[in-house]
């Protein structure tokens, strides 16, 4: 379960970094052409990152199957000390 959460967090971090990376490559492109770029549009970059992450969350919720008609069985500790994870049945 922890690897799934880590994968989700890392994918959202990559999506948040995407506008900044595109802007950095664009500035490098301009520099290679001998042109000067103005100051970074931090507000637009942060807004774009927020929109991209927000849309990814909405899409994830929209396409992930729900557990509405399933019963949740909480985690249990067995007599031998082992723990069974919580699950849906």
The rounded distance, in Å, linking the Cα atoms of 66 and 10 is 23
The rounded distance, in Å, linking the Cα atoms of 18 and 56 is 13
Give the pairing type, strands 83-84 and 76-77: antiparallel
24-66 pLDDT, tens digit each: 999 999 999 999 989 999 999 999 999 999 999 999 888 877 7
Q: What is the rounded average pLDDT for all residues in the chain?
A: 91
Tell me what pLDDT residue 23 has.
97
Nearest to 45, CA basis, from 26, 68, 62, 59: 26
The full set of domain ranges for the chain reads: 2-88
Tell me what pLDDT residue 83 has.
94
Q: Find all residues with CB under 8 Å of 52, minimum gap 6, and list them.
A: 15, 16, 18, 19
pLDDT of 67 > 80? The answer is no
Tell me what pLDDT residue 88 has.
83
Tell me what pLDDT residue 1 has.
56
72 with 88: CB under 8 angstroms? yes
Task: Give CA separation, 15 vs 11, 52, 64, 78, in Å.
Answer: 6, 7, 19, 41
């Amino acid at each position: 379960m922890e690897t799934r959460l880590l994968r989700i967090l890392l994918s959202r971090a990559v999506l948040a970094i995407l506008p900044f990376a595109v802007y950095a490559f664009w500035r490098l492109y301009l520099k290679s052409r001998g042109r000067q770029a103005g100051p970074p549009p931090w507000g637009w970059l942060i807004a774009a990152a927020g929109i991209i992450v927000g849309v990814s969350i909405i899409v994830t919720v929209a396409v992930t199957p729900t557990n509405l008609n399933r019963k949740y069985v909480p985690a249990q500790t067995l007599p031998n000390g082992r723990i069974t994870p919580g699950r849906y049945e």
